[in-house]
């Protein structure tokens, strides 16, 4: 492969961290260094000779640093092909070739996260840096480019022996550079789209990529793009799989909707909750959640909104489960839980902050707002003569959260802050209700005095009729059917309470 010896390098970085390892490798091969402003001062402080870019351009940094490198004397040395016609032009205008470009862009995304000051945000839109990266990447056959601090050490090792880089290595660096500028531009466009409410096209990019063991099935490849550490920190266990991540996302979003006024616990399987409960201790919450469906809990995803103490850890330790998520773990609990080395233990840091969600289909992408609506007492309309009791209302709101996070069509049955049975993913609401009743009775629950939540309206009165026969006394649903009056009339005739939310929670 065609290698080039790096004889000159232009270094312009916002964050100076990690430079010594790269500078040491460049100095070993007597590479001429060019730099600007703060980067040049840092290189000099570290004891290396460096030439100011101003000596090439004949112009100082102007406009508060907005223009430093944007000049033919800089870009000519980067973009010139190493062939006679181009080299003659460089000689004519006394422009030196630049073999390596090192750029760390202004921290635009970090600035957006830490301030709402538009002027400060705009000043962190890098112009020259992006141009340098694109120019060097375009001319990868003759120039190498470093676009991330993460590459310093690996490139230094490649340069260590002979001070040269192969064509394949330069092409790989170019790909990374173009990916970096794509992500950077996408973040800037996203900011302005958010500010103006106007969206031009679809773009979502991440510079963080984690290769997974496989996709949904072993014959499918899979990868995760994003920073998992923003949401969860892995404490122990095997590498997370595609299916683990899908289930963890469902678990975290479910728990985010449940208030933290008391310990809550959920057990999920294939993104659906098979057990959810709230109790005075996390141990009791776990036991109540497990009772909801101890069969489906095998191999499931467990999540708590409260620290896992030793009592809770001892209660769940003998159950085979894939993942346990909690905001914290007592030291003795963690010691016990990590004895099973493959068990994934995650510290929950924060719920995902994304406001939109998307999926690919039909060769394209569909995008929607995240369903962030949580039904509250203030949004309920009592549709029947009898209003729910305080306990029924509390259970109805809890049931609504459970139904929101189950696959449609769905019904959730709740009593005393415990999921007794659920039916989900059914083609009819009647089938979902029947499934929920069968599951509840299979695990020994008496449904007398329980409540029912539906993710969408009842097209007929058949669901409330079946619910009444099973002992259910109160219902929460969006309403909106042209036959709502039929369901309401049946409830009135049988002393059932019904409240309407006005909000549908389909989940597909």
DSSP E strands, 335-444: 344-348, 356-361, 364-369, 381-382, 411-414, 419-423
- As given in the structure block, the two tokens for residue 457 are 């309206």
Residue written as tokens 């991540």?
245
N- to C-terminal Cα separation, the chain: 51
Question: Which entry of 270, 287, 373, 434 is annotated as an active-site residue?
Answer: 270
What contacts 443, CB < 8 A, 6 or more positions away? 291, 292, 293, 294, 421
Cα 15 → chain centroid: 25
> Cα dist. 197→113, 190, 366, 471 in Å?
18, 10, 18, 49
Q: What is the pTM of this model?
A: 0.80
| Residue of 280, 255, 281 lying closest to 268 (CA atoms) | 255
Whole-angstrom distance, CA of residue 337 vs CA of residue 328:
13
Whole-angstrom distance, CA of residue 396 vs CA of residue 402:
10
Sign of the CA dihedral with 306 first, then 371, 405, and 485 last: positive
Ordered per-residue pLDDT tens for the chain, 508 residues:
588 889 999 999 999 999 999 999 999 999 999 998 889 999 999 999 999 888 887 777 777 777 777 788 888 889 999 889 998 988 898 889 999 999 999 888 889 889 988 889 988 888 888 999 999 999 999 999 999 999 999 999 988 878 889 999 999 999 999 999 998 888 888 888 888 877 777 777 777 888 998 999 999 999 998 889 989 999 999 999 999 999 999 999 999 999 989 999 999 999 999 999 999 999 999 999 999 999 999 999 999 999 999 999 999 999 999 999 999 999 999 999 999 999 999 999 998 888 889 999 999 989 899 999 999 999 999 999 999 999 999 999 999 999 999 999 999 999 999 999 999 999 999 999 999 999 999 999 999 999 999 999 999 999 999 999 999 999 999 999 999 999 999 999 999 999 999 999 999 9
- As given in the structure block, the two tokens for residue 300 are 């499931």
87-101-97 Cα angle (round to 5): 15
Question: Which entry of 29, 124, 138, 317 is annotated as an active-site residue?
Answer: 138
| Residue of 146, 143, 45 lying closest to 96 (CA atoms) | 143
Is 270 a known active-site residue?
yes
């Amino acid at each position: 492969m065609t290698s080039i010896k790096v004889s000159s390098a232009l270094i312009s970085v916002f964050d100076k961290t990690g430079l010594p390892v790269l500078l040491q490798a460049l100095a070993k091969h007597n590479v001429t260094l060019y730099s600007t402003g703060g980067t040049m001062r840092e290189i000099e402080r570290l004891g290396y000779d460096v030439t100011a870019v101003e000596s090439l351009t004949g112009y100082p940094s102007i406009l508060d640093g907005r223009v430093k490198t944007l000049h033919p004397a800089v870009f000519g040395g980067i973009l010139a092909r190493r062939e006679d016609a181009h080299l003659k032009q460089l000689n004519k205008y006394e422009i030196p070739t630049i073999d390596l470009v090192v750029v760390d862009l202004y921290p635009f995304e970090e600035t957006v996260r830490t301030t709402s000051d538009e002027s400060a945000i705009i000043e962190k839109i890098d112009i020259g840096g992006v141009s340098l990266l694109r120019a060097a990447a375009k001319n990868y056959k003759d120039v190498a480019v470093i676009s991330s601090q993460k590459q310093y050490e690996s490139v230094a090792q490649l340069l260590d022996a002979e001070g040269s880089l192969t064509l394949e290595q330069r092409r790989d660096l170019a790909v990374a550079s173009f990916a970096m500028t794509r992500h950077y531009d996408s973040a800037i466009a996203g900011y302005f789209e958010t500010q103006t409410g106007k969206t031009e096209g679809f773009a979502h990019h991440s510079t963080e990529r984690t290769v997974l063991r496989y996709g949904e099935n072993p014959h499918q490849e899979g990868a995760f793009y994003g920073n998992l550490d923003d949401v969860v920190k892995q404490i122990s266990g095997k590498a997370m799989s595609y299916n683990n991540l899908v289930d963890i996302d469902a678990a975290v979003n479910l728990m985010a909707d449940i208030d933290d006024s008391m310990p809550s616990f959920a057990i999920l399987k294939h993104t659906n909750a098979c057990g959810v409960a709230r109790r005075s201790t996390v141990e009791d919450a776990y036991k109540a959640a497990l009772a909801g469906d101890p069969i489906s809990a095998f191999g499931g995803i467990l999540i708590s909104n409260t620290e896992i103490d030793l009592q809770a850890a001892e209660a769940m330790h003998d159950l085979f489960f894939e993942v346990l998520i909690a905001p914290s773990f007592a030291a003795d609990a963690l010691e016990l839980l990590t004895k099973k080395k493959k068990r994934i233990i995650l510290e929950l840091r924060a719920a995902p902050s994304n406001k939109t969600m998307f999926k690919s289909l039909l060769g394209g992408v569909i995008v929607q707002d995240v369903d962030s609506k949580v039904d509250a007492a203030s949004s309920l309309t009592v549709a029947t003569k009898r209003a729910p009791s305080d306990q029924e209302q509390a259970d109805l709101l809890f049931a609504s959260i459970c139904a929101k996070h189950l696959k449609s069509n769905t019904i959730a049955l709740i009593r005393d802050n415990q999921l007794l049975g659920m039916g989900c993913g059914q083609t009819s609401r009647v089938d979902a209700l029947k499934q929920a009743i069968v599951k509840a009775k299979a695990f020994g629950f008496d449904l007398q005095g329980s409540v029912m939540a539906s993710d969408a309206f009842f097209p007929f009165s058949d669901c409330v009729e079946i619910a009444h026969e099973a002992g259910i006394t109160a219902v929460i649903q969006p309403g909106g059917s042209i036959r709502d009056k039929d369901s309401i009339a049946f409830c009135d005739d049988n002393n059932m309470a019904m409240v309407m939310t006005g909000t549908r929670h389909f989940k597909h």
